[in-house]
Amino acid sequence: MPLTSILEPHAGAGLAALLLSSFLLGVLHGVTPDEHTWPITVSYAIGAASGRRGMKAGLLFSAAFTAQRAIASELAYLALAPILASGALNAGIDLAVGVVMAVSGIYILRLGRELHLTEWFEQFLHRVFRLGSSDSTNGILDPADRPIPLRMTLVHGFVAGWGTGAFAIIIYTVLAPAMPNAAVAFLPGLLFGVGTMLVQALAGAAIGAWMRTRGLGEAAMTYVSRAVAGNTLLYGGVLFALWGLVSLLLPSLAAPIDRGLPTGIGIPNLDSVNAGLILVAVVVAVIAGGSFLRAVRRVQVLAPAEVTRQ
C-alpha cells in the first residue's frame, strides 16, 4: 500500500482497506519519534537490561496503549472526536504523563543509590523525595537488587494513549467514523495499537539486547540500567509536566511551539520540528544518553573487575 494511501485513507474505501490502513498507521507511529511512546519504551527497555525483558516492556506498554486507543476509537465513532482532539485535553495528558513518569523514576531510584545528571538538582531531589545520600555507594553493585517492575509500563501506556497527535486524528476523524456500526468501531484503534505494539516490542528487545552487549557484569548492569531508567523517567517526567503546565496556562504561547517549523517531510512526527520532537530528543538523547555515559563511568571507577566480568 502506498504511503500516501496510508496517511490519507479514504472513508469510502472498503472495510478491509480501512483496517489495514489502521494497522500500518500504527506501525508508522511506532517507528517515528512520538513524544509519549519512545521516551517511556527506551527508559524501561534500558532498565530491563535484556532482550526478553526489553520486549516485555515494549509489549506491556503497547498493550495498555492499544486498549486505550480501542476505547478512544469507539468514542470517536460516537462523535466525541472534537473532545479527544482538544488542546486542553492534550496539555492535561502531557501533565499527567509527566507526573506518572516522574513518580516511576522516583520509585526506581529509591531501589538503590543512583547517579543524577546535575549535582545541584540531584541534591535537591534527594532531599525532597528522600532518595538517600547521593554520595553513598552502599549497595550500588549489589547483584541481589530487585529488577525494575515492568508492570508500571501498563499505567504509562494507558495514560499516554490519550494524547492526540496527527496519527490519532486520522483514526478519530476518518477511520473510526467510517466503520459500519458501533460494534466494530473500536477496530481501527485496536489495530493501530497492535501495529505500534509490534514495533515497540521489537524496539524494546533490541535496546535490551544492546544493553547486554555493553560488557558489564550483572551487578554493574543492574546499577547502570536502573540509573538510566530512573533518571530518564524522572527528569523526562519533569519536562513533560512543565510543558503540560505551560500549555494549560499559556495556550497562546504554546500553540506556535506545538505547530513548530515545517521540515517538508510528509510523515506525522517528522513533518515539523515542534515541542513533541524536541521533547523526544532531549529525553532520549540528552537525558538517557547522558545518564548512560555517567553511570558506566561510575561503575568503571567503583568496580572495574565487575564491569568486565560476564
HEC profile of 180-240: CCHHHCCHHHHHHHHHHHHHHHHHHHHHHHHHHCCCCCHHHHHHHHHHHHHHHHHHHHHHH
Question: What is the CB-side half-sphere exposure of residue 36 using CA atoms within 13 A?
Answer: 31
Reported as a pLDDT band with limits 50, 70 and 90, residue 22 is: very high
The Cα 263–Cα 274 span in angstroms is 10
Task: Report pTM.
Answer: 0.73
Scan for cell 540531584, then name that residue: 122
pLDDT of 180 higher than 80:
yes
Give the angle subtended at the CA of 198 by the CAs of 167 and 164, to the nearest 5°.
Answer: 20
Reported as a pLDDT band with limits 50, 70 and 90, residue 126 is: low
pLDDT of 123 higher than 60:
no
Instruction: Specify the pairing of strand 272-273 against strand 261-262.
Output: antiparallel
Tell me the per-residue pLDDT of 23-75, one tens digit each, with 9 for 90 and over: 999 999 888 887 777 787 777 777 666 667 777 777 888 888 899 999 999 99
Spell out the domain ranges in the chain.
Answer: 3-308
Are 26 and 189 within 8 A, CB to CB?
no
For 213, counting Cβ atoms within 10 Å of its Cβ (0-12 exposed, 13-18 middle, 19+ buried), the class is: exposed
pLDDT of 130 higher than 60:
no
Beta bridge pairs of residue 262: 272
